[in-house]
A and B are shown apart, each in its own frame.
Chain A
Amino acid sequence: MEAAADMASVAKAPTAARAVETPFRRLAADFCANPTAVFGLALLGVILFLALFAPLISPQNPYDLAQLDVMDSRLPPGSKTLTGGTFWLGTDDQGRDMLSAIFYGLRISLSVGLAATVMALLIGLAAGLPAAYFGGRTEALVMRIVDIQLSFPAILIALILIAVLGQGTGKVIAALVTVQWAYYARTVRSAALVEKRKEYVEAARCLALSPARIVFRHLLPNCLPPMIVVATVQVAAAITLEATLSFLGLGLPITEPSLGLLIANGYQYLLSGKYWISFFPGIALLLTIVSINLVADQLRDALNPRLQR
C-alpha cells in the first residue's frame, strides 16, 4: 500500500513541475536573458511609480499658487528654501521646484502618450483586421489610405491637424491618434494575412462561425505579439511627439504642463546660463524614452517566433 502511494506521488511530481511552464513564463525568461533590458524595465517601473504617486512624493505642489514665492525663482540646484528644505534641481522662472514639476510633468506626458497609443491601437485593429480578413476592395481602400498617410512624416500631419483643429488636450490626443493608427493597421494586417492561411481559421469557417467571431476570438489573439512590440515603441514615439508639439507651443495648454512645456519654459533662460530649467526635464524625458525603447527592443526579440528555441 505504501509503495503504491509512493509511486503515485512520484508520478504526480514531474507533471506538477511541468504544468507551471506557461507561455508567459517563457516570455519572461527570454526577456530577462538580457541584463540591459531588465535595467530598462526597472527604470521604467521607477518612472511609472514616480508619475503615479507624484502628488504624494513631491516635496512641493508646483501648481498650488499659495505655495509659490516668486522670490524663489531661478535658483540653481541645491539652493535652500525658506522653510529649510532644498530645491534639489533648482527652480524655474515662477519659483516652482523643478523636481516636483518634473514628477507632475511625467504624469501628464505619460498619460497623454498612453491614452493616444491605446486609442490608436483600437482604431488600427478595427481597421486592419477586417481589411485583412475580408480582403478585396475593403482591404485595398484601407491600405491605400494607410500608405498615403505613412508616406508623410508624423510631425507634419500632427502640426497641420493642430493648425486646423486648434489647441487643447483633446485635440492633441486626436492628432496623436490620427498620426499613429496607420502603423497599427499595417502591422495587424500583415500578421492577420499570415494567420488567415493557417488551418484553425479554415476549421473555424467550416464550423460556420460568424466572421466577427473568427476575427476577434481567433485571429486577434494570434496577431497580438507584433502588436505589443509596435505599441511599446509607439508609446515612446507618442510621448516624443507630444513633447515636441508642446515645445513648439502647439501642444497641451499651460494648465497641464508636460515635460515639453517645461523644457520650452527654460529655453529663454538658456543663454544666461540657467541651464537647469531645461536640462532636468529633458533628462527625465530622455530616461523615459530610453527605458521604453530598451524594453521594446528586448520584447521584439523575445516575441519573435523565428528566434524561438
Chain B
Amino acid sequence: MLVYIIRRSLQSVVVLLVMSLLVFVGVYAVGNPVDILINPQADQIDRERAIAALGLDKPLWEQYFTFLNGLAHGDLGRSFVHSTSALGLILERMPATMELALTAMVIAIIVGIPLGLWAGLKPEGIAGRTIMAGSILGFSLPTFWVGLMLIMVFSVMLGWLPSNGRGPTTLLFGLIPVSFLSVDGWKHLIMPATNLALFNVALLIRLTRSGAHEALLQDYVKFARAKGLSNGRVIGVHVLRNILIPIVTVIGLQFGALVAFAIVTESVFAWPGMGKLLIDSIGVLDRPVIVAYLLVIVTFFIAINLAVDVLYSALDPRVRLTEGKG
C-alpha cells in the first residue's frame, strides 16, 4: 500500500513538472513573452529595465530554471490589473469556489444517490422511468442556461432569492469567509450550488441505477434475502456498500470537474470565485493571473487524482491485493 502511494506520488510530481514545462513553453516561448509579462502600457525605458529584470534576454533553459525557482517560492508574477501578486489573488478567491463546489457535490450526493437507488430497484415502475428521463434532461441542459432560468424564476418572478453575488460572509475558524453559516449566505449560495450540481445529479442517478440493477442480480442478495434479512438491511447495507466503490471514485474525480465548471456558474451568478477571476483576466489579457490559475488548478487536479487512486485502492481489497503481489 505504501509502495503504491509512493509510486503514484512520484508519477504525479513528474506530471506536474511536465505541465509546468508546457505552461512555460506556452507563455514564454510561444508568442511574445515581452507582451505577456510586461504591462503593454509601459514606455521604452521601463520595458528594457523589465526585460533585464525578468531575464528575458537570457537563453531559454536558463529562463525555465528561473521560472521554476519563482514557482518554488510562490512568486508567479504580478497581475497587470490589480498590481498584486497573481498567486495571492487566486488564493484569496479560492474559498468561495471551494465552498460552491463542495455544496454542489453534497447536493448531488443527497439527491442523486437515493433517486438512483429508487430507479434501480424499480426500473419498470413509473417513478423509475421518470427518474431516468429526468436524468437525460439533466445531462442535456446547458448549465449556463439553467442558471439564467433559475434567476428568472426565483429572483425576477418570485423574488425569493437574490440574483447574484455572495452577500455578507461569516468567518469560519476566524479565518476563512464562508456563506453556509448564515441564512442570508444560504440564500445566495443555494441557486449557484444547485445549478452546478445538476449535471452530477444526473450522472450519479445513472451510475447508482446501473450499479443497483447489476447488484440485485448477484447471489449474495439472494442469500441475504433467504437468510430472512429485512429489505431495508439488504439494500441499505449489502447492496449499497458494494455499489459505492465506483461511485466514490466518480465523485472524487467529478469534484475536479465541478471546480472547473464553477467557472460558468460563477460568471452567471457573479459569484466572486477563481473562475470569475479567470474569465475576467482572459477578457483583459491579464496573463500572470491566467498562468497562476492554470498552475493552481493543475496541482489541484493532480492532488485529487492521487487521492482518488489511493482511496480506491483502500476501499477495494482486490486492487490492494493485486498491487501487493505485483
Which residue of the partner chain, among B15, B139, B152, B264, contacts A270 with CB atoms under 8 Å?
Answer: B152
CB of A160 closer than 8 Å to a CB of B: yes
Our count of residue pairs bridging A and B at CB distance below 8 angstroms stands at: 96
Looking across the interface, which residue of chain B has its beta carbon closest to that of A278?
Answer: B148
CB of A286 closer than 8 Å to a CB of B: yes
Contacts of B149 in A (CB 8 A): 279, 282
Which residue of the partner chain, among B30, B136, B137, B145, contacts A278 with CB atoms under 8 Å?
Answer: B145
Report yes or no: B290 in contact with A244, Cβ–Cβ below 8 A. Answer: no
Contact A286 to B145, CB < 8 A, known contacts A155-B263, A155-B264, A271-B155: yes
CB of B144 closer than 8 Å to a CB of A: yes
Question: Main SS of chain B's interface residues?
Answer: helix
CB of A16 closer than 8 Å to a CB of B: no
Contacts of B163 in A (CB 8 A): 271
CB of B322 closer than 8 Å to a CB of A: no
Query: In the docked arrangement, what's the CA distance between A278 and B30, Å?
Result: 38
Report yes or no: B263 in contact with A290, Cβ–Cβ below 8 A. Answer: no
In the complex, chain B residues 102-142 whose Cβ is within 8 Å of any chain A Cβ: 136-137, 139-142
Range, interface on chain A: 35 or more
Shortest B130–chain A CB gap in Å is 13
CB of A263 closer than 8 Å to a CB of B: yes
Contact A250 to B282, CB < 8 A, known contacts A153-B261, A285-B142, A294-B136: yes
User: Chain B CB within 10 Å — which of A164, A267, A271 has the most?
Assistant: A164
Report yes or no: A151 in contact with B301, Cβ–Cβ below 8 A. Answer: yes
Shortest B115–chain A CB gap in Å is 18
CB of B277 closer than 8 Å to a CB of A: no
CB of A23 closer than 8 Å to a CB of B: no
Query: In the docked arrangement, what's the CA distance between A156 and B274, Å?
Result: 12
Query: In the docked arrangement, what's the CA distance between A151 and B249, Å?
Result: 13
Query: In the docked arrangement, what's the CA distance between A12 and B86, Å?
Result: 81
Query: In the docked arrangement, what's the CA distance between A125 and B31, Å?
Result: 31
Query: In the docked arrangement, what's the CA distance between A153 and B151, Å?
Result: 26
CB of A120 closer than 8 Å to a CB of B: no
Report yes or no: B148 in contact with A270, Cβ–Cβ below 8 A. Answer: yes
CB of B216 closer than 8 Å to a CB of A: no
Contacts of A151 in B (CB 8 A): 301, 305
CB of B283 closer than 8 Å to a CB of A: yes
Contact A263 to B260, CB < 8 A, known contacts A164-B30, A289-B140: no
Which residue of the partner chain, among B15, B137, B148, B256, contacts A153 with CB atoms under 8 Å?
Answer: B256
CB of A221 closer than 8 Å to a CB of B: no
CB of B87 closer than 8 Å to a CB of A: no
Contacts of A273 in B (CB 8 A): 156
Report yes or no: B144 in contact with A247, Cβ–Cβ below 8 A. Answer: yes
Residue interface bits B5-48, CB-to-A below 8 A is 1, else 0: 00000000001001000000011001100000000000000000
Shortest A165–chain B CB gap in Å is 9
CB of B97 closer than 8 Å to a CB of A: no
Contacts of B156 in A (CB 8 A): 270-271, 273, 275
CB of B257 closer than 8 Å to a CB of A: yes
CB of A42 closer than 8 Å to a CB of B: no
Contacts of A260 in B (CB 8 A): 144
Query: In the docked arrangement, what's the CA distance between A137 and B28, Å?
Result: 30
Shortest A279–chain B CB gap in Å is 7
In the complex, chain A residues 110-133 whose Cβ is within 8 Å of any chain B Cβ: none
In the complex, chain B residues 277-303 whose Cβ is within 8 Å of any chain A Cβ: 278-279, 282-283, 287, 290, 294, 297-298, 301
Report yes or no: B142 in contact with A163, Cβ–Cβ below 8 A. Answer: no
CB of A148 closer than 8 Å to a CB of B: yes
Contacts of B298 in A (CB 8 A): 152
User: Chain B CB within 10 Å — which of A163, A290, A294, A297 has the most?
Assistant: A163
CB of A236 closer than 8 Å to a CB of B: yes
Looking across the interface, which residue of chain B has its beta carbon closest to that of A36?
Answer: B133
CB of A238 closer than 8 Å to a CB of B: no
Looking across the interface, which residue of chain A has its beta carbon closest to that of B163?
Answer: A271
Report yes or no: A152 in contact with B301, Cβ–Cβ below 8 A. Answer: yes
CB of A162 closer than 8 Å to a CB of B: yes
Looking across the interface, which residue of chain B has its beta carbon closest to that of A290?
Answer: B140
CB of B208 closer than 8 Å to a CB of A: no
Report yes or no: B141 in contact with A286, Cβ–Cβ below 8 A. Answer: yes
Query: In the docked arrangement, what's the CA distance between A247 and B137, Å?
Result: 20
Shortest A230–chain B CB gap in Å is 15
CB of A240 closer than 8 Å to a CB of B: yes
CB of B195 closer than 8 Å to a CB of A: no
Looking across the interface, which residue of chain B has its beta carbon closest to that of A289?
Answer: B140
Query: In the docked arrangement, what's the CA distance between A185 and B96, Å?
Result: 36
Contacts of A243 in B (CB 8 A): 142, 144
CB of B79 closer than 8 Å to a CB of A: no
Contacts of A250 in B (CB 8 A): 279, 282
Q: A156-B263, A236-B140 are in contact. List 10 more A-B contacts (CB 8 A).
A: A151-B305, A159-B263, A162-B282, A164-B27, A247-B267, A249-B283, A250-B279, A275-B156, A278-B148, A282-B148
What are 10 A-B residue pairs whose CB atoms fall within 8 Å in the complex?
A: A148-B15, A153-B257, A153-B260, A156-B297, A160-B294, A260-B144, A263-B145, A266-B148, A270-B148, A282-B148
Question: Residues of A at under 8 Å CB distance from B?
Answer: 148, 151-153, 155-156, 159-160, 162-164, 236, 240, 243-244, 247-250, 260, 263, 266-267, 270-271, 273, 275, 278-279, 282, 285-286, 289-290, 293-294, 297
Question: Residues of B at under 8 Å CB distance from A?
Answer: 15, 18, 26-27, 30-31, 136-137, 139-145, 148-149, 151-152, 155-156, 163, 256-257, 260-261, 263-264, 267-268, 278-279, 282-283, 287, 290, 294, 297-298, 301, 305
